[in-house]
A and B are shown apart, each in its own frame.
Chain A
Amino acid sequence: MNNILECRNLTKFFGGFPALRNVNLTIPEGRIVGLLGPNGSGKSTFIKLCNELLTPSAGELIIGGHKPGVETKKIVSYLPERTYLNDWMRVSDIIEFFSDFYEDFNPDKARDMLKRLNISDRDRLKTMSKGTKEKVQLILVMSREAKLYLLDEPIGGVDPAARDYILDTIISNYSENATIIISTHLIYDIEKILDDVIFLKEGSVVMSKSVDEIREETGKSVDSLFREVFRC
């Protein structure tokens, strides 16, 4: 099996403060990976480094055989933890935007999913609630047939019903052989869909295992193991 993502000694400092310290990871194709850790453990920093929104202070990062850049952006679909949509656009504008820039974007799929949420092509993003905007963003991101999906806190700020919708959307839409990395601290909700987990603590990887291994070795769920590892 090929690895979609590899990093060696990846380190990122903000000012003098280390947000990530010597992270070493290899993530194969076709896995759903939970990037788990409390707030401020470096989850977002890691994902932003993968998207070249941050530049590493040291270490190396390879995605699909390339360093972050134009080639990796073609195969990485990223959901940030904030809304990045232009308020003045209509739904039809943003779909055209994604079609123009991403070769792997499937506009019919996006329209279909939006229709099921009763969002029309003519709707303006300005008039939408925060929750609806987040769903639109998720639909856009999952309508790409990418090799790697990087989802930063996709279920962070929403109610449990919306959480189910989001997880369903993720599971039923990612392309075959693709890997999904989901960062979150809401482990209970997400545990059932994960293949692997990575525990981040204060910028360092404290554990990287498959969910099956965890169950076999400890007899515990990921959620209760997380509570144990990160006990305050």
Chain B
Amino acid sequence: MLKKLLKYEIKATARIMLPLYLALIVFSLVNLVVNPLKLIESSENTVIQAIVANLSMMLYIVLIIGISVMTLVIMIQRFYKSLLGDEGYLMFTLPVEPSQHILSKLLVSLMWSAASFLTTLLSVAIISRIPDPARIIGELYKILVDFLGYTSLALIPIYLLAAACSGIMMVYTAIALGHLFNKHKLLASFGMYALLYMINQTVLSVCLFLIGTFIMPTLFMSEQPAPEVITFLMAFFSLVSIALAGAGFAVTNHILRNKLNLE
């Protein structure tokens, strides 16, 4: 059933996200040809040239911001409207466990977050006309390996994924908690988000404090932190993020299973 839920979740969201990605990439390519930065640089060009150049830069920035905003809007809306709004009457009468609903929303939201990030990266790469992208990536990789070591480098995607999971689950948990209120559910959700954010930060601070007592001395003593220390920190905070996401999942699942009240 999870597969089928994912299929429909992707279908429902792709029709919004894919055109945005396409627009950004096409626009980046157009900018590559028109080259607004160079137009602005060469001062003797005409006013029209300058206007075209500025306008196309502005549009580009709007598109990039639009993609991040849309990723966030879809994350919230697909959970709030399609589970706790009118569409919830359809979704919650399907023979599917609530946990699978949450999981399908989470996975698709993760997918779009990653896709938005990568598309934006790609468009920046296109527009900045890196002459030899393979060489630059190679150099960047070398620097990172030197600084972080192989293990930490491999941990980066895992840490990002864990952090994104805990971030998205925090939004879902806030919406689910807001649903428990009799009135002003949306407003309550925002309040709950603020509360969860504080709890999240407190947990992270306490963790930092606890491990800090025996890691900080080594950190301060050396000019450059040892790769092992970084590996440890990343692994540790990945686990904390996963634990926070898990707690959010448990709370959300409990509410959708035992406290659902679609009025």
A: residues with CB less than 8 A from B are: 14-15, 48, 51-55, 70-71, 73-74, 76, 78, 80, 82-86, 88, 93, 97, 100-102
Complex interface: chain A residues within 8 A of B262 (CB): 48, 53-54
In the complex, B93 has a CB within 8 A of chain A: yes
Hey, which bits of chain B sit against chain A, CB under 8 A?
1, 4, 7-8, 11-12, 15, 86-90, 92-97, 182, 258-263
Return the chain A residue nearest B261 by Cβ: A54
Contacts of B263 in A (CB 8 A): 14, 54
Instruction: Name the distance in Å between B10's Cβ and chain A's nearest Cβ.
Output: 13
In the complex the two chains form, what is the Cα distance from A48 to B88 in whole Å? 12
Q: A88–B261 contact, CB under 8 A?
A: no
- The answer on a CB contact under 8 Å between A52 and B90 is no
What residues of chain B lie closer than 8 Å to A102, measured between beta carbons?
A: 94-95
CA of A97 to CA of B82, assembled, Å: 15
A-B contact pairs, 17 of them (CB 8 A): A15-B182, A52-B92, A52-B260, A53-B261, A53-B262, A54-B260, A54-B262, A55-B261, A76-B93, A84-B87, A84-B88, A84-B89, A84-B90, A100-B8, A101-B1, A101-B94, A102-B95
**Chain B residues positioned under 8 Å from A83 (CB to CB):** 86
A73 to B93, CA, bound (A): 6
Q: A84-B87, A88-B12 are in contact. Are A73 and B260 (CB under 8 A)?
A: no
CB-CB under 8 A from B8, the residues of chain A are 97, 100
The 10 closest A-B pairs by CB, nearest first: A84-B89, A84-B90, A73-B95, A53-B262, A80-B89, A74-B95, A101-B94, A70-B95, A100-B4, A78-B93
| CB-CB nearest in chain B for A74 | B95
Which partner residue on chain B sits nearest A152 by CB separation?
A: B89
In the bound assembly, the distance between CA atoms of A53 and B95 in angstroms comes to: 13
A79 to nearest B CB, angstroms? 10
**A84 to chain B: which residues have CB within 8 Å?**
86-90
A48, chain B: closest CB distance, angstroms: 7
